[in-house]
């Protein structure tokens, strides 16, 4: 099945990754030293005042959750979900296609498990925007907005738009010990460059998602933030207030520190999480059977996706799983051996297991699973010196895979041209992806928020990708 309709995209040509201007990265200030517990990744700088207007973003009965499977560095659409078997060799590459469970749909031969799950998802083949730089493109995809003041390699700042988890937390804050957003297992950073889109931006550090930077496939995996230090026994404390009082006694002498005077809200939320057995148990990977863990794959990809499912079961509304470090899918050279041997097999195993697991448990009905990178790759293979061929950055056309939360499975939405360079049907921008995600999270995409200067800013200017849910040609 396919849905194809058209408007023309506008985007710049490709270029290879390079180092450009940099600015000092965002610093998340942990409170573990002040509180005596491992909360380094939980809470950043003290709150900044914001005009919230929460009423316009009130939750509804149709509110869903989201798991973002982010293919860091941008995978090639030509060699995964939008292959061009009839194109010349320098376009089509080395891989063959295989039939998927949806009649007429063909995907890469190295994605057999996801091919068998095609009835559960829709592929959008006409995503498009104009930013060929990793950092600004990541901001666009993970916030649904262009980065304010964007330039080549503009790092994260508090002037950025908020990511989806942060927007959800801003409008639907909670105090039940469950974080609104969790990002894992890597933090997107390279040297002085911190990728934007991972934070709450101008909404303030209070709404930053929880960053997990440990590999759940490791035998010693644990989250220190959920481990109480020696000498503090939750069973001896009647309630959160008692725990807070206990730790406050450790803060004697810190009253003169400016940050220490502003810890109250963070403390309350931190200890709610610490005393929440539900969220703590989600990180106890040993609770899963060996059969289930083997099904996802005993590698970082698979176990991270299994952890995402466990967090979703625990009630976390937004989980983002980064499939590797910042350059993982940035295959400028050696693209075919890299995809064949290192990237596609674990991705295929883990992602297919996630869709199957959520489908069998019924969680897929209320969970959007979204797989995509920040852009696509060039139609024509390059010839890098001393390397086998690869593909460079290409923002005018790329793919996204969507499943669950009402998405109609077995669809191909949109179409690219014969060499996968540009959409020949209506392109969808990251703004449209953002509108779709925010709407499912119960946030009005058109709501006004306020930036750091108090100016009203529309949260999102895209439109929901309706064919995902209706199956109708637009």
Tokens of 28: 């998340």
Q: φ, ψ for residue 119 (rounded to 5)? A: -70, -15
- What is the reported pLDDT for 17? 41
Q: What share of the chain is helix, strand, coil (3-state, %, to 5)?
A: 30, 15, 55
CB 251 within 8 A of CB 34: yes
3-state secondary structure of 106: strand
Q: Domains of the chain: which residue ranges?
A: 2-8+53-223+291-470
Q: Which portions of the chain are predicted below pLDDT 50?
A: 1-61, 234, 236-238, 254-263, 474
CB 172 within 8 A of CB 442: yes
Rounded to an integer, what is the distance from CA 276 to the centroid of its chain? 24
Rounded Cα gap, residues 374 and 105, in angstroms: 24
Report the chain's terminal Cα–Cα distance, integer Å. Answer: 14
Q: For the domain made up of 2-8+53-223+291-470, give the CATH fold.
A: Alkaline Phosphatase, subunit A (3.40.720)
Rounded Cα gap, residues 30 and 270, in angstroms: 12
- What is the reported pLDDT for 119? 96
- What is the reported pLDDT for 126? 98
- What is the reported pLDDT for 50? 34
- What is the reported pLDDT for 384? 83
Sign for the pseudo-dihedral over CA of 297, 301, 302, 307: positive
**Is omega for the bond preceding 185 within 30 degrees of 0, making it cis?**
yes
Beta bridge partners of 456: 450
- What is the reported pLDDT for 175? 83
CB 374 within 8 A of CB 134: yes
* DSSP strand pairing (65-70 vs 318-322): parallel
Rounded Cα gap, residues 153 and 23, in angstroms: 9
């Amino acid at each position: 099945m396919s849905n194809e309709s058209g408007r023309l995209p506008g985007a710049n040509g490709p270029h290879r990754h390079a180092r450009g201007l940099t600015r000092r990265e965002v610093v998340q200030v942990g409170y573990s030293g002040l509180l005596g517990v491992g909360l380094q990744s939980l809470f950043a700088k003290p709150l900044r005042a914001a005009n919230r207007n929460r009423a316009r973003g009130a939750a509804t009965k149709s509110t869903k959750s989201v798991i973002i499977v982010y293919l860091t560095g941008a995978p090639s659409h030509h060699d995964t979900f939008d292959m061009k078997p009839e194109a010349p060799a320098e376009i089509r590459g080395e891989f063959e296609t295989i039939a998927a469970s949806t009649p007429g749909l063909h995907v890469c031969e190295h994605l057999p498990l996801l091919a068998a799950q095609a009835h559960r998802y829709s592929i959008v083949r006409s995503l498009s925007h104009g930013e060929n730089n990793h950092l600004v493109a990541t901001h666009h995809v993970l916030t649904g907005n262009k980065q304010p003041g964007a330039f080549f390699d503009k790092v994260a700042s508090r002037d950025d738009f908020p990511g989806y988890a942060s927007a959800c937390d801003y409008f639907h804050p909670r105090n039940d010990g469950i974080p609104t957003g969790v990002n894992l297992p890597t933090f997107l950073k390279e040297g002085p460059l911190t990728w934007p889109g991972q934070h709450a931006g101008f909404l303030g550090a209070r709404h930053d998602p929880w960053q997990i930077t440990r590999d759940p496939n490791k035998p010693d995996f644990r989250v220190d933030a959920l481990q109480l230090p020696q000498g503090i026994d939750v069973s001896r404390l009647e309630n959160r207030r008692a725990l807070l009082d206990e730790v406050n006694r450790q803060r004697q002498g810190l009253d003169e520190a400016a940050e220490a005077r502003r810890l109250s809200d963070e403390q309350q939320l931190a200890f709610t999480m610490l005393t929440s057995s539900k969220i703590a148990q989600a990180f106890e990977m040993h609770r899963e059977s060996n059969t289930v863990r083997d099904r996802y794959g005993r590698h970082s990809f698979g176990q991270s996706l299994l952890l995402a499912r466990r967090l979703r079961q625990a009630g976390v509304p937004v989980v983002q799983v980064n499939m590797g470090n910042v350059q993982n899918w940035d295959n400028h050279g050696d693209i075919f051996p890299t995809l064949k041997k290192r990237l596609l097999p674990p991705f295929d195993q883990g992602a297919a297991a996630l869709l199957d697991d959520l489908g069998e448990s019924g969680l897929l009905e209320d969970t959007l699973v979204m797989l995509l990178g920040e852009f696509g790759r060039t139609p024509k293979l390059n010839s890098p010196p001393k390397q086998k061929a690869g593909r460079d950055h290409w923002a005018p056309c790329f793919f996204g895979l969507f499943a669950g939360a009402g998405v109609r499975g077995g669809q191909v939405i949109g179409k690219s041209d014969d060499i996968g360079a540009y959409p020949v049907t209506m392109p969808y921008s990251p703004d449209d992806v953002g509108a779709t995600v925010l709407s499912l999270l119960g946030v009005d995409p058109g709501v006004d928020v306020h930036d750091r200067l108090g100016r009203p800013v529309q949260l999102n200017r895209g439109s929901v990708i309706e064919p995902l849910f209706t199956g109708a040609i637009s």
